């Protein structure tokens, strides 16, 4: 029953994390639905008595969500409180580490009054950390002395990471909304951000177009900066020829003789009224004359203290940019940072969920085979058939064969069908002598995975040393589902090309 239980647990956890991501995407300006979902999911999936989510404002703890939290009313009366080590959430915030107390009555620092009021003995608190700084904690409890499992602790840490995403999204969106309620362009870019959580390119394009239009520019460029070189992410305006000239100069390291380079190095706005008459920057003046612009404005895109890009706008006339236009470009820069951060965070979570899906597929296949075993206690054939089918599916192969060793003969036990002719030829190969050079025989004799690359120009490759034909090392990490033993061996034949 254990594989079945583990498979269901993994599926439930994946479903919960996906649900929280869905709530985050639907609540860009309100973090409360996310906290409520996290509290409920934490209690359910950790088999807990109750749980809560608390926020930390840098000085006090605040109760923001709870599920089956018996002393919730008492907690609301006592909170906000400064974090202390005699509470699970407070200790997690102060230590920035997971706090797992199997029995609160046996913990010298823990104050049991709230635990006794709520009726729990075991407590788990996980800090919510943003760039290493505590911003809250998630807590779950159990009535009996029953420690939480490593998987449940990891799950709560995942929920904490998702809480950070929700908090940051709401904070950034609210800051921008407050600053730009009257600017239609910023609202449009926010809409593009919300509709493109995994791709920042539409945001770059929208910013370049809006910058040209709203700053009375003739040409705008959005640059990305990776710490070494500037790359053109989007441009707008002027002609295709001008765009080609600008793009041909990048990627390139930033220099102080360019608008973008100066904005990066100075971490501030660079505004020039007439770049063609810039005596301190003759190279820049020559470039301005070649491209055909005079006034230029450059604003860095900052993630904290780190510059990650620049937005440039230029115009033909030597007319200064207004304070409103400069503020608008700074807003666009902030929005680009949101877009880049959203893409990075969502891709990280997609990778995590993809890894979870792969693990779930493996567990499901194992459970399916165990289920076949339980139904076929007097007949091994259905088990063999299930194994070869799972091997082809999980390793993305073309065909799979399972053989059994009977004395010094290798007998065909199961295989996946290709076509009638091929099946007949395959059956005719067996039985095989154990001392032959066939791949099945070598795998059994060597007690190791065996791989051959297939055919080249219609000729079979020599495969006495299969590792010569693979770019990856063989082993459990390469073939995690190959089962080797005295009685049988599975061989997966891979196709190349």
Pairing verdict, β 306-315 and 295-303: antiparallel
CA distance linking residue 279 with residue 79, whole number of Å = 63
Domains of the chain: 2-174 (3.30.450.40), 184-337 (3.30.450.40), 376-493 (3.30.450)
**Quick one: pLDDT at residue 456?**
43
pLDDT tens for each residue of 320-367: 998 888 888 888 888 888 888 777 777 777 777 677 667 767 777 777
Nearest to 39 by CA among 159, 165, 129: 159
CA distance linking residue 248 with residue 225, whole number of Å = 16
| The pLDDT of residue 485 is above 80 | no
pLDDT tens for each residue of 102-123: 999 999 899 888 778 778 899 9
Q: Residue 419: pLDDT band by 50, 70, 90 thresholds?
A: confident
**Quick one: pLDDT at residue 73?**
66
Q: Which of 125-134, 299-308, 379-388, 473-482 has the lowest mean pLDDT?
A: 473-482
Averaged confidence pLDDT in the chain? 80
pTM comes to 0.43
| The pLDDT of residue 85 is above 60 | yes
pLDDT cut 90: percent of the chain above it = 31
Q: Residue 417: pLDDT band by 50, 70, 90 thresholds?
A: confident
pLDDT tens for each residue of 166-213: 888 888 777 666 455 445 677 778 788 877 777 888 889 988 988 898
Q: Is the dihedral of CA 450, 453, 458, 459 positive or negative?
A: negative
| The pLDDT of residue 90 is above 60 | yes
Mean pLDDT of 66-88: 79
| The pLDDT of residue 32 is above 80 | yes
pLDDT tens for each residue of 5-24: 556 666 777 777 888 888 88
**Quick one: pLDDT at residue 486?**
31
Those residues with Cβ within 8 angstroms of residue 283's Cβ, 6 or more apart along the chain or in another chain: 257
Residue scoring higher pLDDT (259 or 185): 259
**Quick one: pLDDT at residue 465?**
38
**Quick one: pLDDT at residue 494?**
37
Q: Rounded to the nearest 5 degrees, what angle is found at the Cα of 299, between the Cα atoms of 293 and 302?
A: 155
Q: Which of 45-59, 95-109, 284-298 has the lowest mean pLDDT?
A: 284-298
Q: Residue 475: pLDDT band by 50, 70, 90 thresholds?
A: very low
Those residues with Cβ within 8 angstroms of residue 7's Cβ, 6 or more apart along the chain or in another chain: 360, 363, 364, 366, 367
**Quick one: pLDDT at residue 156?**
93
Q: Which of 48-52, 237-241, 409-413, 414-418 has the lowest mean pLDDT?
A: 237-241
Instruction: Rank 125-139, 236-250, 348-362, 447-461 by mean pLDDT and report only the highest.
Output: 125-139
**Quick one: pLDDT at residue 496?**
36
**Quick one: pLDDT at residue 269?**
93
DSSP assignments along 345-361, one per residue? HHHHHHHHHHHHHHHHH
Mean pLDDT of 485-489: 36
Nearest to 423 by CA among 406, 395, 399: 399
Q: Which of 242-246, 405-409, 437-441, 466-470 has the lowest mean pLDDT?
A: 466-470
CA distance linking residue 217 with residue 292, whole number of Å = 12
């Amino acid at each position: 029953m254990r594989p079945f239980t583990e498979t269901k647990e993994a599926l439930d956890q994946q479903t919960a994390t996906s649900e929280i991501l869905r709530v985050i995407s639907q609540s860009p300006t309100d973090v409360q639905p996310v906290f409520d979902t996290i509290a409920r999911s934490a209690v359910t999936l950790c088999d807990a008595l109750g749980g809560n989510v608390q926020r930390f404002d840098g000085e006090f703890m605040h109760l923001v969500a709870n599920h089956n939290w018996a002393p919730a009313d008492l907690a609301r009366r006592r909170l906000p409180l400064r974090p202390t080590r005699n509470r699970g959430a407070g200790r997690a915030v102060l230590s920035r580490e997971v706090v797992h107390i199997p029995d609160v009555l046996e913990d010298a620092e823990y104050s049991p009054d709230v635990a006794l009021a709520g009726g729990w003995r075991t407590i788990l608190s996980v800090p919510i950390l943003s760039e290493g700084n505590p911003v809250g904690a998630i807590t779950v409890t159990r009535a009996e002395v029953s420690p939480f499992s490593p998987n449940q602790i990891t799950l709560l840490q995942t929920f904490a990471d998702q809480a950070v995403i929700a908090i940051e999204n709401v904070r950034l969106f609210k800051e921008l909304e407050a600053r730009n309620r009257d600017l239609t362009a910023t609202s449009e870019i926010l809409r593009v951000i919300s509709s493109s959580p995994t791709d920042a390119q539409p945001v770059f394009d929208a910013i370049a177009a809006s910058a040209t239009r709203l700053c009375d520019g003739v040409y705008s460029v959005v640059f990305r900066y990776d710490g070494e070189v500037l790359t053109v992410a989007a441009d707008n305006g002027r002609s295709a020829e001008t765009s080609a000239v600008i793009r041909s100069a990048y990627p390139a390291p930033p220099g102080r003789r360019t608008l973008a380079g100066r904005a990066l190095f100075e971490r501030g706005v660079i505004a020039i009224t007439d770049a063609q008459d810039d005596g301190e920057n003759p190279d820049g003046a020559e470039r301005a004359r070649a491209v055909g612009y005079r006034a230029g404005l450059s604003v860095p895109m900052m993630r904290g203290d780190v510059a990650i890009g620049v937005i440039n706008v230029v115009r033909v006339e030597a007319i200064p940019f207004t304070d409103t236009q400069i503020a608008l470009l700074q807003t666009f820069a902030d929005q680009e940072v949101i877009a880049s951060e959203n893409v990075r965070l969502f891709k990280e979570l997609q990778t995590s969920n993809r890894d979870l899906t792969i693990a779930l597929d493996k567990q499901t296949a194992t459970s399916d085979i165990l289920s076949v075993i339980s139904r076929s206690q007097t007949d091994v054939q259905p088990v063999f058939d299930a194994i070869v089918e799972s091997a082809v599916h999980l390793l993305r192969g073309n065909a799979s064969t399972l053989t059994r060793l009977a004395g010094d003969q290798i007998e065909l036990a199961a295989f996946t069908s290709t076509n009638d002719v091929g099946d007949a030829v395959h059956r005719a190969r067996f039985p095989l002598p154990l001392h032959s050079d066939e791949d099945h025989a070598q795998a059994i004799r060597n007690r190791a995975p065996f791989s051959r690359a297939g055919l080249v120009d219609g000729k079979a490759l020599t495969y006495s040393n299969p590792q010569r034909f693979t770019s990856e090392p063989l082993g459990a990490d390469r073939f995690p589902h190959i089962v080797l033993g005295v009685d049988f061996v599975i061989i997966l034949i891979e196709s190349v090309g």
